[in-house]
Chains A and B, each alone.
Chain A
Amino acid sequence: MKTMINVALPKGRLGEKVYAMFENAGYECPSIKEVNRKLIFENEEAGVRYFWVKPSDVAIYVERGAADIGVAGKDILLEYTPDVYELLDLNLGKCRMAVAAKKDFRDNTENTLRVATKFTNIAKDYYSKKGRDIDIIKLNGSIEIAPILGLSDVIVDIVETGKTLLENDLEPKETIVPISARLIANKASFKFKMEQIENIKNGLKAQVKTDD
């Protein structure tokens, strides 16, 4: 029997783009395009089995070996630091992790900086490197509202176009790190399915668009 590679794809627009890359690389699975409630799609001939999971869960599936490989945003990898291989930058889903605040905000270094974010580890790491004393306010959504209501001084969040920030009278102040989608692999799976994973990686690499 052919060795199957389990691939965790992030649900949503990014996942669809990523699947298209897999398809172009010769790992098509036509049943994935059928409209139904199925969660797992398999093409035994190509040796791949896809499943859609919540984007923030891809790294968990891969780290724990339920998926051999997957595609996750660099934001998730930085926040949860899963013990996985990061084989390829797909240069897709590009955005940046940034500090944003009200347009008239000036950082008063006399006080503890109140930071609202979903990405507490990224924020803590960023400010600890700067030696800045902060208070972290963990939020799960609608982060932009925090500085407007005075809940926090700044937010740390993903900025794509900056439009949402602008509409709420906020603006990005500092870029922490650029974000894009990455091909990740379970470390143990990589040892036993090295050739297949390498082939997939090379098939995707050939399609990665460079910035220039």
Chain B
Amino acid sequence: MFSTNLLKNEEKAVFALRSIYQKYGYTPFKMSKFEEYDLYVRNKDFLVSDSVITFTGMNGKLLALKPDVTLSIVKNTKDIPDTVQKVYYNENVYRVSPSTHEFREIMQTGLECIGNIDDYNIFEVLMLAAKSLEAISDSFVLDLSHIGIVSAMIDAVGCDRETGKAIINCIGEKNQSGIEKICAEKLLPEDACRKLVALVGTYGKIGKVLPELEAICDTDELKSALSQLKNICNLLVASGIEDKINIDFSIATDMRYYNGVVFQGFVENVPTGVLSGGQYDNLMKKMGRKSGAIGFAVYLDTLERLNLTQKKYDVDTVLIYDENSRPEDIARVVNEITSTGNNVMAQRSVPDSIRYRQLLKLNGKGVEILENND
């Protein structure tokens, strides 16, 4: 058996997450590396980045290296009345990095729950999102938002699309003064603007935020969205994970695809979100489907630098031998060292830039210690 210390953070996470998802009846969903490009052209706005690596398949069809997994899963599942399909995946996706403006391969794990989803399904996915974060780090936060509340508040302002987009940006930035300025410039209704500003300033633990929301959710649309959010929150509180949950509307994502609950996960010492998901009935509708869906993805590449410690040595022992050493003697010494649990590198001379704990030399008489760095 190997030691789990050999595994990188992202590899450990893959194992841990797989076991969590299987425990709750999610089945693995393995898909082809390629997908017809057409799927992404039709749903371009759903993708994190517009650019896709394409090539022509053997039958002349334009194919793409997958930039996203959800679209493929939705495409490959069917509506079955009264059932919910629960799948998880672990796939590489190809996206343009915003910093290098070049394609990168990103390892992504996640799950999708597709069908007639109810409050239990939503709660289960949120709970699994929290468990996924917990498997990565003890110190985590799951932010929860409801698109229904954000979109109803923006609708109440009654602005044009461009202004609406600018307001959504400000909500994402927690930029209260930005919203105030837009509202003043565009002469938008004062009461609706005041509520928007209050919405941006309302975040934190469930117990604190829900009463604050009650005060600003006064239309039927808002009340109905808030009531769903409350139901979900009650389930989260009952399961004892409310300490790790924040309600925060700054994570509201694309309203064309998402509706209902959206969420984002953070772990301490990783500067970006490591998990992102939500209910995407609107995407399902756009893809001609009757059922609803909710799911999330864990961005494993973000874990690379988590708790990274500099290794003091590359190898425990470097064993130097010369042309007179017999291969069987070298093999015997190497075996002896590895059987103690240490690792060893047999070389004729010490390679440059290798840091070792101990330097041994095999000579006619046996093994001689040349250097000990302990």
Q: Which residues of A pack against B, CB within 8 Å? A: 63-65, 83-89, 186-189, 191-192, 194
Contacts and interface: CB of A to CB of B under 8 A. Distances in A.
Given A83-B272, A191-B246, 4 more contacts: A65-B270, A187-B250, A188-B273, A189-B271
Contact of B143 (A63, A84, A186, A191): A191
A192 B139 contact: yes
Contacts of B85: none
B164 interface: no
Contacts of A194: 204
Q: Is the interface of A mostly helix, strand, loop or mixed?
A: mixed
Interface string B168-188: 000001110110000000000
B329 to A, nearest CB: 52
Interface in B219-259: 246, 250
Nearest to A64: B271
Contacts, number: 43
A187 B272 contact: yes
Given A191-B141, A192-B139, A192-B266, A63 B271 contact: yes
Interface residues of B, number: 18
A86 B173 contact: yes
24 contacts: A63-B271, A65-B269, A65-B270, A85-B174, A85-B175, A85-B250, A86-B173, A86-B174, A86-B175, A87-B175, A88-B177, A89-B178, A187-B250, A187-B273, A188-B266, A188-B268, A188-B271, A188-B272, A189-B271, A191-B143, A191-B246, A192-B139, A192-B266, A194-B204
Given A63-B271, A64-B271, A189-B271, A85 B177 contact: no
Contact of B141 (A65, A89, A186, A192): A192
B174 A87 contact: yes
Interface string B267-279: 0111111000000
Contacts of A87: 174-175
A72 B14 CA distance: 38
A191 B177 contact: no
B271 A85 contact: no
Interface pairs A-B: 3 shortest CB-CB: A65-B271, A89-B177, A86-B173
B144 to A, nearest CB: 12
Nearest to B142: A191
Contacts of B143: 191
Contacts of A192: 139, 141, 266, 268
Nearest to B170: A86
Contacts of B178: 86, 89
Contacts of A84: 173
A86 B139 CA distance: 24
A165 to B, nearest CB: 25
B173 A85 contact: yes
Given A191-B141, A194-B204, A186 B174 contact: no
Q: Max chain A CB contacts within 10 Å: which of B175, B177, B269, B271? A: B271
Nearest to A193: B268
Interface in B127-167: 139, 141, 143
A202 B204 CA distance: 16
A63 B174 CA distance: 15
Q: Max chain B CB contacts within 10 Å: which of A84, A85, A86? A: A86
Contacts of B173: 84-86
Nearest to B272: A188
Contacts of A85: 173-175, 250
A82 B85 CA distance: 37
A64 B98 CA distance: 12
A191 B266 contact: yes
Contacts of B272: 65, 83, 187-188
Q: Max chain B CB contacts within 10 Å: which of A63, A89, A187, A189? A: A187
Contacts of B174: 85-87
Contact of B270 (A63, A83, A188): A188
A72 B250 CA distance: 20
Nearest to B248: A191
Nearest to A68: B271
Contacts of B250: 85, 187
B374 to A, nearest CB: 30
A15 to B, nearest CB: 21
